[in-house]
Amino acid sequence: MSKINDLNLNNWKEYQDIITDSLWIIGERDKSGAHRGDYHGNFVPQIPNQLMRRFTKKGDVVLDTFLGSGTTLIECKRLGRNGIGIELLPEVAEIAKQRVNQESLFDTKVFTEVLVADSTKNETRQKVDEILKSYGRQSVQFIIMHPPYHDIIKFSNRPDDLSNAKSVKDFLKLFGDVVSNFLDLLERKHYLAVVIGDKYTNSEWVMADITTNYQWVIVINTQIPNGFH
């Protein structure tokens, strides 16, 4: 068995439900259970599912710093992973809480926590530390970041919302603040996945692969036609 997942990598070809190509062709969105797909800007549940199967084991703790409607935590419950999700907007966090509670295919031993907070702020990190401590944990084994794709979708009018960053440079600064805020929570030799898409502004292509300098970062680009890379 691998050290970071529950897969037997000697038999990797036998896992029919795990996509092993670098281009992920995902068919219809999973709308089962509590998944709805109605939150503008949510990712298809198959993305966190595929990531967690590869990069976590049952009982690990997953942190999602841009929780949105709760897709990651619903998948955590299904896969027997513990999850902490941070969402800036209280009304969106409320939807996430309701959906996560609705999801019935859960393993009773996992915890899922929704925090209404700004992921760039140090006090948010302190709250995450407190949650982990209350469950006897000190670190997380996987981090998923699915930030706004800069200003493609405006999630609110709030200045602390990354979708309101005034420029790509400002967006990258705020995104970097989130990475710095949580990176040392990640257990050694574990991974952080960034799910983001390219964008076009004034006929210019702004590439999403913003973090490829780091070995521990997996970048999933959602703007590739018919697939995720």
Binding to ligand SAM by residue 162, rule CB under 6 A? yes
Q: Which stretch binds ligand SAM (CB under 6 A): 6-14, 24-32, 86-94, 180-188?
A: 86-94
Please select the residue that binds ligand SAM; options are 2, 25, 59, 160, rule is CB under 6 A: 160
| Contact call for residue 89 and ligand SAM (CB under 6 A) | yes
> Using the rule CB under 6 A, which residue among 71, 82, 112, 141 binds ligand SAM?
71
Residue with Cβ nearer ligand SAM (110 or 165):
165
Among positions 86, 140, 143, 208, the unique one binding ligand SAM when judged by CB under 6 A = 86
* CA of residue 187 relative to chain centroid, distance: 16
- Which residues inside 41-70 make contact with ligand SAM, applying CB under 6 A? 41-43, 66, 68-69
Least gap, CB of 210 to ligand SAM (angstroms):
15
112 lies in the site for ligand SAM, by CB under 6 A: no
SS3 readout for the chain: CCCCCCCCHHHHHHCCCCCCCCCECCCCCCCCCCCCCCCCCCCCCHHHHHHHHHHCCCCCEEEECCCCCCHHHHHHHHHCCEEEEEECCHHHHHHHHHHHHHCCCCCCCCCEEEEECCCCCHHHHHHHHHHHHHCCCCCEEEEEECCCCCCCCCCCCCCCCHHHCCCHHHHHHHHHHHHHHHHHHEEEEEEEEEEECCEEECCEEECCCCCCCCCCEEEEECCCCCCEC
**Residue 24 contacts ligand SAM per CB under 6 A:** no
84 versus 162: smaller Cβ distance to ligand SAM? 162
155 counts as binding ligand SAM under rule CB under 6 A: yes
99, 137, 146, 150: which one binds ligand SAM (CB under 6 A): 146
Q: Which residues contact 80 (CB under 8 A, 6 or more apart)?
A: 58, 59, 107, 109, 110
Shortest distance in whole angstroms from residue 34 CB to ligand SAM: 12
- Token pair listed for 59: 């009982």
* Segment lying near ligand SAM (by CB under 6 A), choices 12-20, 88-96, 106-114, 181-189: 88-96
For residue 62, the cross-strand partners are 83, 142
Total residues binding ligand SAM (CB under 6 A): 24
Enumerate binding residues for ligand SAM (CB under 6 A).
39, 41-43, 66, 68-69, 71, 86-89, 92, 118-120, 146-148, 155, 160-163
